[in-house]
Homo-oligomer: A and B are copies of this chain.
Amino acid sequence: MSELKQKIYSKIKADLADIELELSENLNPFLDLVSKTASHILFSGGKRLRPILTVLSAKLCGYSDHFAKRISTVFEYLHAATLLHDDLVDGASVRRGSPVAHSIWGNSTAVLVGDFLLARALSIASETRRPKVIKIISQITENMSQGEIHQLMRKGNIDLSESEYLEIITRKTAVLIQGSCRVGAILAKASEKNEKALSDYGFNLGLAFQMADDLLDYTANPVSLGKEIGADLKEGKLTLPVIRALGVANPEDQSQMKAIIQNEQFSAEEFRILVDMLNQYDGIKYTRKLAGERIDAAKAALSVFQPSEIRNLLNDIADYALEREV
């Protein structure tokens, strides 16, 4: 565990334990199959980034009631629901080192348990009795499904532009992380200014987080990543490191890269060649730079708050989003 990770972990440990308990209590599944499938995706080593952000955002605005932990589960359930459906849509085989749910229980179960988790999320959201919260959460859900549909439509398309990539990751990742933070602020009855600051923090962190995730597909050790080598490419997903390198490469290397990308059965050796080119043609560095700018923007947004331990912690989490290795 890196030093930063350890530092963060020591400060959120107690909240994390409460969140874990809420996650299993709130799940309350009526059927054994739901329980097994939902637990497979929920309790397989997720980082709980989204619920922890809700809890910390609420605390930053002075609200430490346990209710924030209960409501924070909404964001983990939404996340788990989309993972179930996305793995199916993407034809993924491995997540966090385990076979994906649909390969164990079948596509039908993955579809229906995803629906159940989505419904569960919205049920818990309704416990806030705050129409504003509920509206935010249902709009996040709409955005996420649109982002996924957009990604599906552009699957395998070698011409995906950087702006389209940003639009997709905004909808499929950033709005959820933004919402996790914003709802924490709303639970705390924060001022508009503070709510906006946490919303901006979450939005920028969300973009950086997805960019870092997309980088890991090319830079991480696949064993520790718990996914196949080059999984994104095999699923036909063009992400920023590739989009950038394709845009910068000379015509000959561009052709070679395209040939590797478009052959979904590429070998480990071909993948290595591609990664070399992503390094050579600025794909890795550029993505890291853009993610770094988003991290800076996230931290800058928090400057409206007085210095405090919680603010430092949120800043550390932002830094960690980019340095993480899995």
Contacts and interface: CB of A to CB of B under 8 A. Distances in A.
Interface of A: 30-31, 33-34, 85, 88-89, 107-109, 111-116, 118-120, 122-123, 125-131, 134-135, 138-139, 141-142, 144-146, 148-150, 152-153
Contact of A123 (B33, B112, B138): B138
Q: Which of A108, A109, A122 has the most CB of B within 10 A?
A: A122
- State the oligomeric state as a number of copies: 2
Given A88-B111, A119-B142, 10 more contacts: A85-B112, A88-B107, A89-B108, A89-B112, A115-B115, A116-B145, A118-B119, A123-B141, A129-B131, A131-B131
Contact of A30 (B109, B135, B146): B146
A122 B138 contact: yes
A183 to B, nearest CB: 13
A146 B85 contact: no
Nearest to A81: B115
Contacts of A135: 123, 126-127
Contacts of A134: 122, 125-126, 131, 134
